[in-house]
Amino acid sequence: MDITLQAIMSQALLGLNNGAFYALLSLGLAVIFGMLNVVNFAHGAFYMLGAFVALLGYDQLGRWLGDESIRMSFWVALIIGPIIVGLLGVLIEKTMLSRLYKVDHLYGLLLTFGLALIFEGVLSNYFNMAGEPYNGKPEILEGAINLGFMVFPKYRLFSIVLSLSVCFAVWYLIEKTKLGSHLRAGTENPDVTRAFGIDVPSLRTLTYFLGVALAGLAGVVAAPIYSVSPKMGSDLIIIVFAVVVIGGMGSIMGAILTGIALGLLEGLVKVFYPPLANTVIFIVMALVLLWRPSGLFGKEN
């Protein structure tokens, strides 16, 4: 086998890129799980919707407004995408999820599973399952950059930096700010928190908005790299679940670090033994669970 250092490095960076997406998605899942005790099966669908906001904003918005020259730029999509997806999340949380907090947590999982089917099914009717390319990649991110030891596409570098910055910003928000302390208090003991005059239901809505918006953001960032298709979320969601289980469910830092690490690992396995690349994350998960059932960063109970 002839494997050059360059091949390894480029796969490692591609893996890091995937890892950044895993981190962003599993962070959203961990936030929602940690605060609401809901396993958000619709997370992949929200990711897919984020990508579709970018795609439709660029290709179709002009036609809808009657002026073909209007296009939503990538930078605008980066802001609008998460907001639209987040607002859809707020609607769902207010009308459905909030009624399930008092029953078995499994119902939250089943509800979001049903929602995922609905989103995926509706979009499958209008769009090609094979996926459509997003052409709105900003010019400044076209081309590649010479890192000294290798040449790497600018956009991928951008997406790694953006995803990781957002991850650490969210970690800071939850672990170090007052709002974050209210969020955590609301999870630990909703009744006492409410007695202190903090509006727990609004906090929950805000949490779901935040978690789902992260998925939407990941979708927008992914649009120029992967083809945009109704299926793109359902393929990814199971991997992200595995990442969250390995990291320890509900652990914010666990989700981020595990996401990055597993993306890297997957990239490297792709160099040395490609058939194993799809499975390696699940094998790691099985091993971690045998050794530490609550995950790498989870609290033992």
Partner 1 sequence: MNAPVIKLASVASLQKKKTHFTPWIIALLLASVAPFIIYPIFAMELMCFALFACAFNLLLGFGGLLSFGHAAFFGGAAYLCGHAIKHWGFSPELGILFAMLGAAILGLAIGSIAIRRQGIYFAMVTLALAQIVFFLCLQLPFTGGEDGLQGIPKGHLFGLIDLSSTVSVGQQQLPLALYFFVLAITFGGYWLIWRTVHSPFGMVLKAIKENEPRALSLGYQVNRYKLATFVLSAALAGLAGATKALVVGLASLSDVSWHMSGEVVLMTLLGGMGTLLGPLVGAVTVSTLHHELASLGSWVTVTIGVVFVVCVMAFRRGIVGEIAYRLKRSF
Q: Please report, as ranges, the residues that interact with partner 1 according to CB under 8 A.
A: 33, 37, 39, 96, 99-100, 103, 105-107, 109-111, 113-118, 120-122, 124-125, 238, 241-242, 244-245, 249, 275, 278-279, 282-283, 285-286, 289-290, 293-294
Q: How far apart are CA 215 and CA 86, in angstroms?
A: 9
Instruction: Calculate the CA dihedral of residues 226, 227, 228, 231 and round it to 10 degrees.
Output: -90
Report, in Å, the least distance between residue 38 CB and partner 1. 9
Residue closer to partner 1, measured from CB, 97 or 220? 97
Residues 98 and 159: their CA atoms lie apart, in Å, by 34
Residue among 217 and 285 whose Cβ is closer to partner 1: 285
Closer residue to partner 1 in complex, CB, 203/277: 277
Shortest distance, position 119 Cβ to partner 1, whole Å: 8
195 vs 290 by CB, closer to partner 1: 290
Q: Which one, 183 or 285, has the nearer CB to partner 1?
A: 285
At residue 163, what is the residue type? S
Q: Minimum CB separation from partner 1 for residue 51, in Å?
A: 18
Query: ∠ CA(144), CA(145), CA(151), 5° rounding?
Result: 80
* Least gap, CB of 246 to partner 1 (angstroms): 9
- What separation in angstroms does the CA of 113 have from each of 29, 50, 219, 243, 282? 14, 18, 19, 18, 21
Q: Which is nearer to partner 1, 63 or 105 (CB)?
A: 105
Give the shortest CB-24-to-partner 1 separation in angstroms: 19
Cβ at position 272, least distance to partner 1 in Å: 16
Q: How far is the CB of 234 from partner 1 (least distance, A)?
A: 8
Taking the C-alpha atoms of residue 113 and residue 107, their distance in angstroms, rounded to an integer, is 10
**Choice between 137 and 292, CB closer to partner 1:** 292
Residue partners of 97: CB distance under 8 A and separation at least 6: 36, 38, 108, 111, 112, 208
